[in-house]
Amino acid sequence: MTVGRPQRLFAAGPARDPRFVVKEHWVECDNFPGHHPLHLVQFFHRQMNEEVDSLEASAQSIADFPDAPWELRLALARQCADETRHARAFRAHLERRGGRVGQFPVLNFQYRIITALGDLVSRLLIQNRSFEAGGLDAIAYGVGEARTRGDTELAEFYEAQLADEIAHVRFANAWIRRTLKDDPRTVLRMGQALSAAAEAFRIVMGRDGTADADYPAAVQARLEAGFTAEEVRVAADLAATVHAVPSAASSADRRAAG
Amino acid sequence: MGLTVKQRGQHVATFRFVEVRLMEILAAWVPSTPEMEVKLLFGPHIWDCAQAADALGRRTHELRLPLQHSLAPTAAYLDVLDAVAAAAGAPRRIAAIYDVMLPALAGRYRRYLSRTDALMDAPTVRIIEHILGTEARMIREANELRTQLPALALDDPDWLPRLAALESSVAELADQPAAPDGTRQAA
């Protein structure tokens, strides 16, 4: 763990087998432009690893919080299964296009940022309500792009992934709201978590990794995921004006998906 | 004589404890196991164990215990679970769960089925039959992965029999639920 800034922002990274080269900053990775022949292959590789990261973060939360309400642990367990399916699907798309596991460097910043947080509500806030909610916008955008290109198979996969991610954001939203209702002071912890995650995200992504990274808010998906109409409006405004927030993480990766 | 309602509840709550613990063990192993394919083996099995625990936990309420109630197994069986949790490296972890724990747990479930009243305890029977099917699939998936990736085969021939012996040395899973006549029966 040598990102080189306050250690509290990052936990140790998850284990990776020798096929993977793990980097710490976005700029150290292969970030091929949209016209590059390896662009889409690299995108699938990155998404595969990010889904593994999500699996690992959810699994770590199950292990770290044995006293969490059972319904929440059950939802996290389901998320583990879902993220596994997504990782397998991205691997299949990768290999179908001639790519291979370990072909490109990877980042594990999501796991490291999420599991650095010491309470479950903060983790749900960052993993599900920020990273994955940002993913809703990016996936919805990807669906449209894939359909425009005539890639029906990829569009259908994104649709299925979107449905799963909506469920993940929804259960997190429900638990966060419940926790806030029971203990309004939780909002202070949430604010600290957001600040820490945003700072960590900026360290990893830098300016290059977040520039032009936002997509229009996926209004319907966000509403289904339990955001209020006002929250969706704010997200839409932010997408137009702010780049360096955690929710841009998935967007940054998906930016060049087309 | 079959099991009383109270005994059924105790057994079901104990089985639930074990499924939750297996879920937690697999969850802890996902980030710390390097091989991606093994992470992706454990991932859905976390959910399988969770569903088993959830079904058992709903049944505990029907058997006049709290909803999602767990009872810790015997201290000896807790030692077995701790030994499994301490397994290091993908080959041992896979072997511990899929070669020892799940087959042995299936045997304990079957023993319960042989002892309970299949008519009056039919809801538990259905749950356990479903779990047995799921856990057979989990074992099959682990075996398929080891066939695809021979490097995941266990390279220490002495380790697995020791763990299996430790598990099988525990006759009773439930912590001595009392029979109506005051005797203690194995789970």
CATH number at residue A34: 1.20.1260.10
For A:158-197, CB contacts with B below 8 A are none
What amino acid occupies position B21?
A: R
* CA atoms within 13 Å, Cβ hemisphere of A10: 22
Q: Which long-range contacts (CB under 8 A, 24 or more apart) does B5-9 make?
A: B5/B63, B5/B64, B6/B63, B6/B64, B6/B177, B6/B178, B7/B177, B7/B178, B7/B179, B7/B185, B8/B63, B8/B116, B8/B121, B8/B124, B9/B60, B9/B63, B9/B64, B9/B65, B9/B69
Q: Determine, yes or no, domain membership for A30.
A: yes
Question: Alpha-carbon distance A146 to A143, whole Å?
Answer: 5
Q: What is the pTM of this model?
A: 0.92
Q: Determine, yes or no, domain membership for A155.
A: yes
Looking at chain B, the whole-number percentage of residues with pLDDT higher than 70 is 93
Consecutive H or E run containing A203 = helix A186-205
Question: Is the pLDDT assigned to residue B180 strictly greater than 60?
Answer: no
What amino acid occupies position A17?
A: D
Test mutation, A84, A100, A115, A168, chain B, max B CBs within 10 A = A84
Question: Is the pLDDT assigned to residue A247 strictly greater than 60?
Answer: no
Could A84 and B36 be called an inter-chain contact, meaning their C-beta atoms sit closer than 8 Å? no
Question: Alpha-carbon distance B85 to A195, whole Å?
Answer: 35
Question: Alpha-carbon distance A218 to A138, whole Å?
Answer: 8
pLDDT at res. B182: 41
Q: Determine, yes or no, domain membership for A226.
A: yes
Task: Give pLDDT tens digits for A83-128.
Answer: 999 999 999 999 999 999 999 999 999 999 999 999 999 999 999 9
Q: What ipTM describes this predicted complex? A: 0.94
Q: Determine, yes or no, domain membership for A4.
A: no
Q: Determine, yes or no, domain membership for A1.
A: no
Q: Determine, yes or no, domain membership for A8.
A: no
Q: Which residues contact A159 (CB under 8 A, 6 or more apart)?
A: A143
Task: Give pLDDT tens digits for A47-87.
Answer: 999 999 999 999 999 999 999 999 999 999 999 999 999 99
Q: Nearest-CA neighbor of A107 among A214, A253, A254, A212?
A: A253
Q: Nearest-CA neighbor of A222 among A146, A134, A150?
A: A134
Is A105 in contact with A23 (CB distance < 8 Å)? yes
pLDDT at res. A43: 95
Q: Determine, yes or no, domain membership for A10.
A: no
Q: Determine, yes or no, domain membership for A115.
A: yes
pLDDT at res. B20: 98
**Domain boundary assignment for chain B:** 5-168
Q: Which domain holds residue A195?
A: 21-254
- Domain B5-168 maps to which CATH number in 1.20.1260.10, 3.90.1150.10, 3.40.710.10, 3.40.30.10? 1.20.1260.10
- Residue A222's pLDDT band (cuts 50, 70, 90): very high
User: For chain A, what is the domain count?
Assistant: 1
Question: Is the pLDDT assigned to residue B183 strictly greater than 50?
Answer: no
Question: Alpha-carbon distance A164 to A136, whole Å?
Answer: 10
pLDDT at res. A79: 98
Output DSSP code: residue A14: P
A-B interface: how many C-beta pairs under 8 angstroms?
85
For A:45-74, CB contacts with B below 8 A are 52, 55-56, 59-60, 62-63, 66, 70, 73-74
pLDDT at res. B118: 97
Question: Is the pLDDT assigned to residue A133 strictly greater than 60?
Answer: yes
